[in-house]
Chain A
Amino acid sequence: MFLVYVVAPIFQSVWISFHDWDGVGAKTWIGLANYQELLGDEAFYTSLQNNVIWLVLYLLAIPCGLAVALFLNQTVTGIRLYKSLFFFPFVISQVVVGLIFTWFYAPNFGLFSVLLKDLTGLDFAVLADERFVTYGIIVAGLWPQTAYCMILYLTGLNNINPEQVEAARMDGAKGWSLLKNIILPQLAPATFIAMVVTVIGALRSFDLVSIMTAGGPYGSSRVLSYYMYEEALSEYGYRMGYGAAIAVVLFLIMMVFITLFIVRMLGQERNN
């Protein structure tokens, strides 16, 4: 079943990407024409550039998650409840997160806009401004992602060898140097998982873009995953072949990361 629904379609997609196809009629073989068109397509470069911005900024979720985890790694009354409430955003659907933040950014009355106006006197609609729209969406995405990284680090911190920490303290290590030399190396597995889920999450970003702006204004917040969907399946027409070509590009980009992860996991597998 996994083969039918997941593995086979990858090859079919590659196959379709060499065709001109509207999804219903016959496929016409056009070879690499879809890819050639892609190279001259400005919207493709915008999406690609946004994907890079997503990837870089999304990684901020890792240090932010670590910071929150360090902040919460205490034993005061009710801390368990605090931890779960901090984790909350991750459990909510991205659709709801998107709606919340759309409303947060809404011009004139959104909380963010109001604060911005009061503090700086600036007045603009984040989601309708080509310069800021992608960043606005990424902030919304960082919210649940930070929560995810936080929980990974909290579990990691729980499993740190206390004797080593005490020994390092005896030797006079504290603050930063303790964190850098003793704690972070022990958190490496958590960091690895956090990297994996964050990179994949950034490249997969679709829901938030679709909910918050539908790629607008003027396609300036599109990412590859959304652009592909738009080309293949929306009112702009059913260009399945072209859409598949975009998907193949995205797939290849992700394959680079997936291969890196798998090589690492394979190494661990061999060690066991």
Chain B
Amino acid sequence: MFPTPIQKSSPISRYGYNLVLPIALVLWLLPLLGVALTSVRPPSDLAAGNYFGIPSGFAGVQNYTAVFENSPLGWYILNSFKITIPTVIGAVALSCLTGFALATYKFKGNLVLFFLFVAGNFIPFQILMVPVRDMTLKMGLYDTVTGLVLFHVAFQTGFCTLFMRNFIKGLPFALIESARVEGVSEWRIFRYIVLPLMRPAIAALSVLVFTFVWNDYFWATVLVQGQSAMPVTAGLYSLNGQWVAAWNLVSAGSIVAALPPVAMFFLMQRHFIAGLTLGATKG
């Protein structure tokens, strides 16, 4: 193990390490802690210039209710869910099929197609912006949840296919081979042999796509204009303009907006990290 396990070093450095660890954590999360603290601050504190001291009282309940009652934040969050959940289902389902096809069939252009997906994953959004916006307008889906979902599904499929294909490649191919010899149809192989084995990959991808789509801001500004379909990221930014200097409200709003992906992360941590670090361990 590297670096040397701290248990093997002198007691002083062991205590030192245990002491430094929480300090480092607090420093690392300082911006976040500031926001959390501000979100429970009464507005009078801010007016008095007490930005970083101890809050003079606990106004968390007030601030958070104010955020939901006086602004469409709740609506924005609902929109975010309406965009994110169908995207996760759509992209994951599609990529199970494409990943299976790319991993198990040898056909001409297999690698080309695969790398097309990989490259598509890395291109700048801006090159897609004008045509996609135009197309969405023409289909009458501008400013709707469906328009955003369609685009996200298409784009995320690139990443998901890359992920699924590599995952299926890692499964024992002999399993599929022997099923074929037995005369099992391709669809049944996929349904009864591969799909059950893909469960961990599906879980990992769902969490990742959920986070990516939830946190998307660029497409939310490009494909949506009004309140009706605006997700929480873009919504929060526009609210920030309205709540000038009402930092307690901005902070409370930020925390609410950040909560779903954070909850997702803590609930599914193992899958989340497995997904993100795919390829970081073996070549």
Q: Which residues on A are within 8 Å of B, measured CB to CB?
A: 1-2, 4-10, 12-13, 16, 23, 70-71, 73-76, 82, 84-89, 91-96, 99-101, 103-104, 109, 111, 114, 143, 148, 151-152, 155-160, 162, 165, 178-179, 182-183, 189-190, 193-194, 196, 200, 203-204, 206-207, 210-211, 224-225, 228-229, 232-233, 240, 243-244, 246-248, 250-251, 254-255, 257-258, 261-262, 265-266, 268-269, 271
**What residues on A are CB-neighbors of B140 within 8 Å?**
none
Additional pairs, 13, CB under 8 Å, beyond known A152-B277, A160-B2: A6-B123, A12-B130, A13-B127, A16-B130, A88-B29, A89-B29, A93-B258, A94-B217, A151-B277, A155-B273, A160-B1, A207-B218, A225-B126
A selection of 24 A-B contacts at a CB cut-off of 8 Å is A2-B117, A2-B157, A6-B123, A16-B131, A23-B134, A76-B21, A88-B29, A92-B262, A95-B215, A96-B236, A100-B34, A109-B49, A155-B281, A162-B1, A193-B277, A194-B280, A210-B221, A229-B129, A233-B129, A247-B130, A251-B124, A261-B122, A262-B115, A266-B115
Contact B18 A228 (CB under 8 A): no
A228 and B184 alpha carbons, distance in the complex (Å): 53
Contact A73 B3 (CB under 8 A): yes
- Residues A200 and B273 in contact in the complex (CB < 8 Å), given A93-B215, A152-B280, A190-B280: no
Task: Choose among B3, B257, B281 the residue that contacts A190 (Cβ–Cβ < 8 A).
Answer: B281
Q: Within the complex, what minimum Cβ distance (angstroms) separates B28 from chain A?
A: 6
Closest to B272 in A: A91
Contact A203 B130 (CB under 8 A): no
Asked whether any CB of chain A lies closer than 8 Å to the CB of B155, the reply is yes
Q: Within the complex, what minimum Cβ distance (angstroms) separates A159 from chain B?
A: 4
Asked whether any CB of chain A lies closer than 8 Å to the CB of B11, the reply is no
**What residues on A are CB-neighbors of B38 within 8 Å?**
103
Task: Choose among B2, B126, B276 the residue that contacts A179 (Cβ–Cβ < 8 A).
Answer: B2
**What residues on A are CB-neighbors of B199 within 8 Å?**
none
Mark out the residues of chain B between 197 and 233 whose CB falls within 8 Å of any chain A CB in the assembled complex.
Answer: 211, 214-215, 217-218, 221-222, 233
Q: How many residues of B contact A (CB 8 A)?
A: 83
Contact A268 B283 (CB under 8 A): yes
Closest to B116 in A: A7
Asked whether any CB of chain A lies closer than 8 Å to the CB of B237, the reply is yes
Contact A111 B52 (CB under 8 A): yes
Q: Indicate the member of B124, B217, B221, B261 with the most A CB atoms within 10 Å.
A: B124
Task: Choose among A91, A183, A211 the residue that contacts B2 (Cβ–Cβ < 8 A).
Answer: A183
**What residues on A are CB-neighbors of B283 within 8 Å?**
189, 268, 271
The 8 A CB mask of B248-283 against A (1 = contact, 0 = none) is 001100100110011001100100010011011111
Contact B254 A100 (CB under 8 A): yes
Contact A258 B131 (CB under 8 A): no
Q: Within the complex, what minimum Cβ distance (angstroms) separates A236 from chain B?
A: 15
A75 and B28 alpha carbons, distance in the complex (Å): 20
A183 and B214 alpha carbons, distance in the complex (Å): 36
In order of increasing CB-CB distance, the 6 nearest A-B pairs are A5-B154, A9-B131, A12-B131, A93-B215, A155-B277, A247-B126
Closest to A91 in B: B265
Contact A92 B261 (CB under 8 A): yes
- Residues A1 and B153 in contact in the complex (CB < 8 Å), given A73-B2, A82-B25, A152-B280: yes
A2 and B237 alpha carbons, distance in the complex (Å): 30
**What residues on A are CB-neighbors of B21 within 8 Å?**
76, 82
Q: Indicate the member of B34, B125, B128, B150 with the most A CB atoms within 10 Å.
A: B128
Q: Within the complex, what minimum Cβ distance (angstroms) separates A243 from chain B?
A: 6
- Residues A262 and B119 in contact in the complex (CB < 8 Å), given A1-B94, A111-B30: yes
**What residues on A are CB-neighbors of B280 within 8 Å?**
152, 155-156, 189-190, 193-194
Q: Within the complex, what minimum Cβ distance (angstroms) separates A205 from chain B?
A: 10
A165 and B2 alpha carbons, distance in the complex (Å): 7
A85 and B28 alpha carbons, distance in the complex (Å): 9
**What residues on B are CB-neighbors of A224 within 8 Å?**
126
**What residues on A are CB-neighbors of B111 within 8 Å?**
266, 269
Q: Within the complex, what minimum Cβ distance (angstroms) separates A57 from chain B?
A: 18
Closest to B263 in A: A91
Task: Choose among A13, A89, A183, A262 the residue that contacts B128 (Cβ–Cβ < 8 A).
Answer: A13
Contact A103 B247 (CB under 8 A): yes
Mark out the residues of chain B between 28 and 62 whose CB falls within 8 Å of any chain A CB in the assembled complex.
Answer: 28-32, 34-35, 38, 49, 51-52
**What residues on A are CB-neighbors of B276 within 8 Å?**
148, 151-152
Asked whether any CB of chain A lies closer than 8 Å to the CB of B5, the reply is yes
A118 and B222 alpha carbons, distance in the complex (Å): 42
Contact B25 A85 (CB under 8 A): yes
**What residues on A are CB-neighbors of B124 within 8 Å?**
203-204, 225, 247, 250-251, 254
**What residues on B are CB-neighbors of A23 within 8 Å?**
130, 133-134
Q: Indicate the member of A6, A82, A152, A228 with the most B CB atoms within 10 Å.
A: A6
